[in-house]
Amino acid sequence: MKIKRIVFGIGLMFLLMSFQQINCQNRQSVKTDTNSSNLPPEWIDTEQMPTYPGGERELLKFVEKNLDKTIVNCSNLSEGRVIIRFSIDTLGNAIDFTVYKSYNNKVDNECLRVLKLMPKWKPAETWTGNKNDSFKKTKIGYTFPIKIPFKGYNLEK
């Protein structure tokens, strides 16, 4: 019985080592050029992420102020989430809105309506590697979740 356990343990160890070796080989073969135009905007490595005017707290205040509470805080709504994805372009505009995770059509549309009202952001910046032009504004993807039913954000800190 002990021999079976030892043989099983050794076999399991070799199996795990072979998976680790395959995983390392796959990592080495993946191209990691973050300046490639083939990468989606949300995968580009940036030195400065896009920022909402006044910071994240102000973004939450904006969303809370503008959401129609009769739509997103109805007592008959079950617990869930709407996740909206959008991009901040090089001028700071929020563009390319998509509902990544839907709750229902009415709630999704209300969340989209509010996020489309946002003012310009400070765009993301990436290092160009050139000493003369050290940073370049970059389009970056942003994901924003909204919990439903919406109870507001605890901003009293």
Distance, in Å, from the CA atom of 41 to the CA atom of 150, rounded to the nearest integer, reads: 29
Q: Are residues 45 and 26 in the same domain?
A: no
Q: Is the per-residue pLDDT at 25 higher than 60? A: no
Counting residues of the chain whose pLDDT is more than 70, the rounded percentage is: 68
In this predicted structure, which of 84-88, 134-138, 146-150 has the lowest mean pLDDT? Answer: 134-138
Q: Are residues 21 and 84 in the same domain?
A: no
Predicted local distance difference test score (pLDDT) of residue 65: 94
Angle in degrees, 0-180, between the axes of helices 56-66 and 105-116, rounded to the nearest 10: 130
Q: What number is the average pLDDT over the span 28-38? A: 42
Confidence of residue 57 (pLDDT cuts 50, 70, 90): very high
Q: Are residues 76 and 108 in the same domain?
A: yes
Count of domains in the chain? 2
Residue 126's domain spans which residues?
Answer: 40-148
Q: Is the per-residue pLDDT at 45 higher than 90? A: no
Q: Is residue 101 assigned to a domain?
A: yes
Q: Are residues 23 and 56 in the same domain?
A: no
